[in-house]
Amino acid sequence: MKQLQDAIIERGTVLSTGVLKVDQFLNHQVDTHLMTEIGFEFARLFRDEKVTKVITIESSGIAPSFMCAHQLQTPLIFARKKKSVTMNQANVYSSRVYSFTKQEYSEVTVSKDLIKEGDRVLLIDDFLANGEAASGLINIVEQAGASVVGVGIVIEKSFQNGRKKLEERGLRIESLARIASLEQSTVTFVEEPVAQNN
Amino acid sequence: MKQLQDAIIERGTVLSTGVLKVDQFLNHQVDTHLMTEIGFEFARLFRDEKVTKVITIESSGIAPSFMCAHQLQTPLIFARKKKSVTMNQANVYSSRVYSFTKQEYSEVTVSKDLIKEGDRVLLIDDFLANGEAASGLINIVEQAGASVVGVGIVIEKSFQNGRKKLEERGLRIESLARIASLEQSTVTFVEEPVAQNN
């Protein structure tokens, strides 16, 4: 997605060979115009999958998935990373997930009221790196007896093994930007390499 | 806002005299149609305030503020509750906030890159109870030398003192649903009381 690649080049910052900072438009400050286009694109890509629920993880997945769920006319569920007192602990599906960015484990939970057997779930997330978060969400969907009909990713770090892990499970993955490398403080995209010097 | 009051009555659950569970449409599962209407309403209410930034706190503030920022054509900033490795700690404004729902303190932070002196900031949040989260955000905006031009709240617990605290600071507060009481498992709204038996 050209508009997203441009945002990554113009407003992203390579912090290291593994970390791309995108807090100018995605995960701290949100460019709602770009997020709307991203949501529309996910909805277009998965329009024929008969999606009944869109699921993401708080917080950074909410903005890019919002317009997708709105377009597909399905509820949006954001999995919680920490238990809150309003959530009945006997009534949640949960999965342990390692966050690459925060360097810690968290318990990801979804209320059993929200995913039902037979649901066709589209999973959206801001990043795909090692596939930890996505695998945790897939695990939750499967606990509910529902199925994942696709995975929509805003930014894929294609030099990590997340896509491979998910493909081995037979999942359809659509990433709107695929990054081949962050070496030498330069973002190189898969297929259409674009150079950047910070 | 009638549509929101209806959602609270039909899809909310009174858990105690202080806690209203709205995870069917606001803070776990998101009704994107209702959130879009809420965003439009905030944008309409604050249209003349020359807003330059909309700010909220992750995670539950993101969905109701998304379309407001989109309509006002301003960036949306969501304050982070926990520090991440991609955030330079020397470069953030921070404030300590007590969460009524999670019964814990968290450090709320915003990158100094995102709010500038002279910014006219509209603050949006899902709940107003004791005004802790809002006060923390106001504190951050003031650290930046910017000003808060209004506070938009989805659900106000009018039986707690948050509104009073903010009004004493001279702020304009617009709450789309004002709850007078949750006694006897019944939601009673300010001005237009509506009965509910769970």
Indicate if the pLDDT at residue A191 is higher than 80: no
Domains of chain A with CATH codes: 2-79+117-189 (3.40.50.2020)
pLDDT on residue A88: 62
Radius of gyration of chain B (CA): 16
CA distance A86 to A72: 28
Closest chain B CA to residue A78:
B28
Contacts of A75 in chain B (CB under 8 A): 29-32
pLDDT on residue A9: 98
Kindly report whether the peptide bond that precedes residue B106 is cis, defined as omega within 30 degrees of 0: no
Indicate if the pLDDT at residue A84 is higher than 90: no
The per-residue pLDDT for range A148-180, each reduced to its tens digit, is: 999 999 999 999 999 999 999 999 999 999 999
pLDDT on residue A198: 45
Average model confidence (pLDDT) across chain A: 93
Q: Which position has the higher pLDDT, A90 or B70?
A: B70
- Whose tokens are 């001005």? That residue is B191
A120-147 mean pLDDT: 97
The whole-angstrom distance between B53's CA and the closest CA on chain A is 10
Closest chain B CA to residue A12:
B86
Task: Confirm if B193 and B181 have CB atoms less than 8 A apart.
Answer: no
Which residues in chain B land under pLDDT 50?
A: 193, 197-198
Q: Which position has the higher pLDDT, B198 or A3?
A: A3
ipTM above 0.85, yes or no: yes
The whole-angstrom distance between B164's CA and the closest CA on chain A is 25
Indicate if the pLDDT at residue A129 is higher than 50: yes
Contacts of B101 in chain A (CB under 8 A): 84-86
Give, rounded to a whole angstrom, the gap between the first and last alpha carbons of chain B.
22
Residue B184 DSSP code: G
Indicate if the pLDDT at residue A195 is higher than 90: no
Between A and B, how many residue pairs show a Cβ–Cβ distance under 8 A? 110
Q: Which of B36, B67, B84 sits opposite A101 (nearest CB)?
A: B84
For residue B72, what is the enclosing H or E element?
A: helix B62-72
The whole-angstrom distance between B4's CA and the closest CA on chain A is 16
Indicate if the pLDDT at residue A194 is higher than 70: no
Indicate if the pLDDT at residue A197 is higher than 70: no
Distances (CA, A) of B74 to A93, B52, B67, B90: 37, 6, 10, 26
pLDDT on residue A192: 59
Residues 6+ away with beta carbon under 8 Å from A116: A144, A145, A146
Are residues A63 and B62, on separate chains, in Cβ contact within 8 Å? yes
pLDDT on residue B195: 52
A113-121 mean pLDDT: 97
